Amino acid sequence: MNNNRKNAIIQTTEFIQSKDEKVILLKGTHQYEKHSLVLKLLSESKEFITGLYRSNSMQNIAMQLDHAGYKVKLNQKFTSGRLYNLNGLRIYFDSLFTRSTWSNTAQQLDFAIIYPMDSFCSSKNDLKEDFLNDILVMKKVKKIFIVTWTDMRHDYTWLAPYVDRTVVFDADEEDPEYHNRVIRSSQRNY
């Protein structure tokens, strides 16, 4: 199967509609498009309204939403525990690396987006276990979207037992130069 936008849309839509799948891992070289695609498809679904956006840093949320096409001020501060209305979605925000923010968000959620997952892969096992317990056990989440930014040099095998579907969304068809630059950059930094 192609690792292009069309396939990413088809696969992610099938996941959203599935009654049997709970966790999807979106990987690939299209750095800013994967979380954008998830937010767009959730907005269109009308079935998933209230969710969690767990970022690598609270300070990065405005920039990440801007990349996804949301009209937010880049200096806007987001607070964990507060519900924000964005493009028909009601979203809580918290930080992947700050456990104390996790308890500020609701327990019952339609969806959770974890983005970007990359840097978390090198975290200690106890933090990974706490994350998995929080998102899979403590919170009652219908659909979980684990989204990477640049995944060439990160090991996601620790997530394999929990992931129902993996989708690769590369930039190769839309922008081969960008795609190759991302790959080269990842290899250089490895």
Q: How many domains does the chain have?
A: 1
pLDDT of residue 42: 97
pLDDT bin (cut points 50, 70, 90) of residue 50 is very high
- Please give the residue range of the domain that contains residue 143: 5-15+22-188
pLDDT of residue 152: 67
pLDDT bin (cut points 50, 70, 90) of residue 158 is very high
**Contacts of residue 71, Cβ cutoff 8 Å, sequence gap at least 6:** none
H or E element that contains 13: helix 5-17
* pTM of the predicted protein model: 0.93
